[in-house]
Structure 1
Amino acid sequence: MQSIRSWRGEAFNQVPDSDNRIHSDEIAQAYGFTGALVPGVTVSSYLIQPAVEAWGLHWLTRGAVHATIKSPLYDEREFAVEVALPGGDDRYHAELFSENRLCATAEVWLPDALEVEPEYQGCEVMSDYWQPQKASRQVMEELRDQGCPAKPFMWSAEHEMAAYLRQQADMPALLRTQAVADDKQNDSGYANMSFLLGCANRHFAAVARMSPWIHLEIRAQNFQAVPLNTALISEMTITDLFNKKGHEFADCVFNLFLADSKRCVCSIQQRAIYRMRAG
């Protein structure tokens, strides 16, 4: 087992053409940002990487994280993840800095015992012809009260979130989906957290039309590692809606299940701004 280590990298915006235009330079700059924002789920993956390096499959199958985005991380900018161990070898605190700014923080740990695994509810799965309404407080309240459709996903090497760094060789071997010349291990290709947390993001953005919107905070608990070419189903519940400083917020829970066995692989609590204040 490796030690938990700080590390440095270059930020990578995998989705410049996302429907969430906050990941484009034009819209991000219109809202006062310097440029396109790297997805919050990708920033979280940078904070989680020391756990995957140190604990490997143990973390992918039972690890937990609480990550909060503090300020934007911009594409192609250098960043540093600094870790501190408060005591013991099963937990660390991480902070991500870029351009002398604190961009995100996280607590990452291996629980002594797993939480009760969420059960599959059998919600109706969103069809290819699903037409979401424009996000508003009324629409989000209706989704909260009436329930949200489930959404399918496929973890594959072709997925745009298959890498959270430009070079997969810079990611832990367990998470690489591409052949790496100097990597002789076969134990690789497991879903990274940028993809898994991104499923929650995509599900959130699919139930109602919203752009731009901003991912702010996640709490996640893993229950199983996800091998390459695995079909998943996400079930979503809106737990709270509120306004703060003119922004409309939503708190949601997403449970990701294996499509065949309906076993839960990851449970995610997410906070996001679904409607930004004008100006």
Structure 2
Amino acid sequence: MTKRLEPYRVAAFNTAKASENKMHDDSVARNFGFSGGLVPGVDVLAYMVHPAVAQWGRAFLERGLIEARFTRPVYDSETVLVTAEPAGDGLTLGVTGGELRASGSASLTAELPTFSLEDFPDTAAVSRRLPVDADSYRQDKWLGSAPRCWPPDAAAEYLAEVREADPIYAREGLMHPGVLQRVMNKVLVDNAIMGPWIHVGSRMQLLAAAVPDDELVARARVTANYEKKGHRFVELDALIVANGITPVAHCQHVAIYQPREVVAA
């Protein structure tokens, strides 16, 4: 049975103010009706990992499942609470700051699914990015990400960015699984030049614990590309692979790659 955990308090930090995605820039985000630049969804998900690791420790980093849906923005310097309520053998997760910002769940997978690398072709990111168009994320298209690694100093910097103080990562030489979500974002940005865009949800099944200096890539297939309420959405199904041989996570990733304000322009 899962234990009841105290809410986890986080002083949110916008790690992407200078990124190519100007939805994290205060002035641009306000043009889309937000109060300021958005804290990246991948970092909000990282906050949500904390109670899962508090519940299950290293086992969660090796075979945990987490799902998250981002319903309202989190802003820089806001204090938010991550709640974790027992639900059967898992946890129901929420991120609140006066109102619900994100919801989700976490659990420990008893028997891990197996994935063949042959089922997820090793696809390189495009050599020359072009402005996003109808073909960039065409349904059933295979996409790759440029290889990325986090050496120990970068891994420590990442922990500071997502306000993670759990000693397990330094003590056991492990990567925070939030970096895998950054790899998922790279699938989008490494294959097209986008305007402002929004990550809206993810499901991540961890398959092995990644460690600093692992070279990580995503092998992703576009499973859906559609318009809803004027926004253009893309959905990815991906295997994240370490050092070309070890699957470390199976992820589904959902994003608005063109908000309706851009579509209508």
Question: Counterpart of 2:124 in structure 1: which amino acid?
Answer: V
Mapped to 2, the partners of 1:204 and 1:76 lie a distance apart of 27
1:135 alignment counterpart: 132
Describe the superposition over 1:211-269 as per-residue Cα deviations: whole angstroms up to 9, x where unpaired. Answer: 21100010110011111111122111101011011100001012111124x11001110
C-alpha change, 1:104 and 1:164, in structure 2 (3 Å) is: farther
Any idea what SS the aligned residue of 2:184 has? helix
SS where residue 27 of structure 1 aligns?
helix
2:190 matches 1:206: yes
Take 1:116 and 1:216, find their aligned partners in 2: how far apart are those partners?
A: 27
CA distance in 2, matches of 1:160, 1:29: 32
**How far apart in 1 are the matches of 2:257 and 2:105?**
25
Match of 2:206 among 222, 225, 230: 222
- Residues 1:275 and 2:258 are matched in the alignment: yes
* Alignment correspondent of 2:62: 61
Unaligned runs of 5+ in 2: none
Aligned to 2:147: 152
**Alpha-carbon distance, 1:157 to partner:** 3.6
Is the counterpart of residue 97 in structure 1 residue 96 in structure 2? yes
2-side partners of 1:201 and 1:258: how far apart?
A: 16
Runs (5+) with no aligned partner, structure 1:
177-185
* Partners of 1:213 and 1:30 in 2: CA distance: 13
What SS does structure 2 have at the residue aligned with 1:232? strand
Cα drift, residue 101 of structure 1: 1.5
CA distance in 1, matches of 2:95, 2:242: 32
Structure 2 CA distance for aligned equivalents of residues 252 and 161 of structure 1: 28
User: Which residue is 1:117 aligned to?
Assistant: 115
- Which residue pairs with 1:187 in the alignment? 172
**Matched pairs, number:** 260
**Match of 2:172, SS?**
coil
| Deviation of the 1:148 alpha carbon | 2.1
Alignment of 1:153-168 (within 5 A): 153-159=148-154, 162-163=157-158, 165-166=160-161
2:166 is the counterpart of 1:172: yes
Identity in percent = 25
Q: Which amino acid is 1:96 matched to?
A: V
CA contact (8 A) 1:118 1:267 kept: no
Alpha-carbon distance in 2 for matches of 1:194, 1:148: 20
TM-superposed CA distance for 1:11, in Å, is 0.3
Q: TM-score, normalised by structure 1?
A: 0.85
Name the CA shift for 1:150/1:10 in 2 (closer, same or farther; >3 Å).
closer
Letter in 2 for 1:148: L
Q: Which amino acid aligns with 2:172?
A: D
Q: Alpha carbons of 1:159 and 1:210: their partners in 2 closer, same or farther (altered >3 Å)?
A: farther
Work out the CA distance in 1 between the residues paired with 2:6 and 2:85: 9
| Matches of 1:40 and 1:53, distance apart in 2 | 21
